[in-house]
Amino acid sequence: MLDSVNDPSLIQAAQEAGAKGINLVGMCCSGLETLSRHGIPHAGNFMSTESIMVTGAVDVQCIKQGLAKVADCYGTKLFTTNSRCHIEGVEHVEFNEHSPRECTDAIVENAIIRFKNRKMPIEIPQIKNMGVHGFSHEYINYMLGGSFRSSYTPLNDNIINGRIRGVAGVVGCTNPRVKQDWVHVELVKELIKNDVLVVQTGCSQIAIAKAGLHTPEAAHLAGPGLKEVCEAVGMPPVLGCGACVDNSRILTACSEMIRIGGLGESIAELPVAGAAPEWMSEKAICIGQYFVASGVYTVFGVTFPIVEETKFHKLLFEGLEGMGFGKWGFTSDPYEMAKMMIAHIDKKRKALGIDKARERVLVSMADRREMEAA
């Protein structure tokens, strides 16, 4: 799609149709991939899909089946592209990885034709939110230590001295059963207020971006310790890592924290926790269990597909932790969720013996020479 919308011949065709050019914007997780890697603007998360279509200005490539009727109401073209995905009433333009431009060029050409024949009124809300996104393991190293001394050591040191209480991953979908974005935003606000650095992926990241928390200026909403670190480094209190499939970046960061030292011998010992406040698909359960198996306390919201007080429930919510893994948690309330995650982080801090803040000691040059001589 990036190649197609930047093709000179297609840009010329768009201009001949009366457009200034071709504007590519992202949606959902695929949009976060292009936002993180190419800086393509993002239009909204999963629960915003209908809102984007009713502007009358957007042609959407997505798989939410109910969009077919919405598209028809607004004269909007809707395409499926995967060989396994066909929706009744939706045009199919199959994507072949060996000749991808056949598909993407066709979609752009359809958009140009539709632009010339628009009949519905166009109404685009003039709301823009800025943010810093695309934090990979490599960039976090650089951000913390610079070009020549890139390292997670500053992160570990500030967790040990108590400025940063711990790290929380807040990820996953938006769910139509709850007020859009509210659980995500309130949870993240509670966490950063209590000096917990938040890392994100998926639709949750866009919910927080709309709340303005992915900017360095959002540090004023953080607790005093986290705020001090953010202002020193120039980073947001919430780091956007990309799409749902980029959750492995969070575990890579956890592994690096262990490698640097000072915070235990396994991920299960780290003062970290994870949450998917509005999950709604089976893949979220799979990803959640992946994190639990890796040693992370993982809290889900909205609902949880299990029978309480069964052996299996006790295994997931209690037993796994005793085996050296993480464990599951559940609550639909964002404030309770924050308390549960912070309590777990504090428990891990106490086990590591870093539950009390340590004052920073300024070492004189004479003291440094003495230490080096020793």
Distances (CA, A) of 143 to 181, 229, 249: 29, 12, 15
Q: What's the rounded Cα separation, in Å, for the pair 333 and 335?
A: 6
**Hey, what are 356's tokens?**
């009390």
Topology of domain 137-352, CATH: Rossmann fold (3.40.50)
Q: What's the rounded Cα separation, in Å, for the pair 233 and 139?
A: 13
Mean pLDDT calculated for residue range 78-85: 85
Neighbour-count burial for 68-105, b at 16+ CB within 10 Å, e otherwise: eebbeebebbbbbbeeeeebeebeebebeeeeeeebbb
Which of the four pLDDT bands, split at 50, 70 and 90, describes residue 63?
A: low
Long-range contacts from 122-125, C-beta under 8 angstroms, 24+ separation: 122/55, 122/56, 122/57, 123/55, 123/56, 124/55, 124/57, 125/55
Each domain of the chain, given as residue ranges in start order, spans: 2-116, 137-352
| pTM over cut 0.85 | no
Coil, helix or strand for 299? strand
The lowest-confidence range among 39-48, 192-201, 305-314 is 39-48
Mean pLDDT calculated for residue range 357-367: 67
Of the ranges 68-77, 169-178, 206-215, 263-272, which is most confident? 263-272
Angle, vertex CA 178, rays to CA 172 and CA 182, nearest 5 = 70
Q: Do the first three CATH levels of 2-116 and 137-352 match, i.e. the same topology?
A: yes
List Cβ neighbours of 350 (8 Å cut-off, separation of 6 or more).
none
Q: What's the rounded Cα separation, in Å, for the pair 329 and 275?
A: 9
List Cβ neighbours of 61 (8 Å cut-off, separation of 6 or more).
78, 79, 80, 81, 107
Taking only the tens place, the pLDDT of each residue in 207-235 is: 898 899 999 999 999 999 999 999 998 89
Mean pLDDT calculated for residue range 337-348: 96
Which CATH number does 2-116 carry?
3.40.50.2030
List Cβ neighbours of 245 (8 Å cut-off, separation of 6 or more).
29, 33
Q: What is the mean pLDDT of the chain?
A: 87
78: left (phi over 0), alpha (psi -120 to 50) or beta: beta
Burial class of residue 17 in the structure, from the number of CB atoms within 10 Å of its CB (0-12 exposed, 13-18 middle, 19+ buried): middle
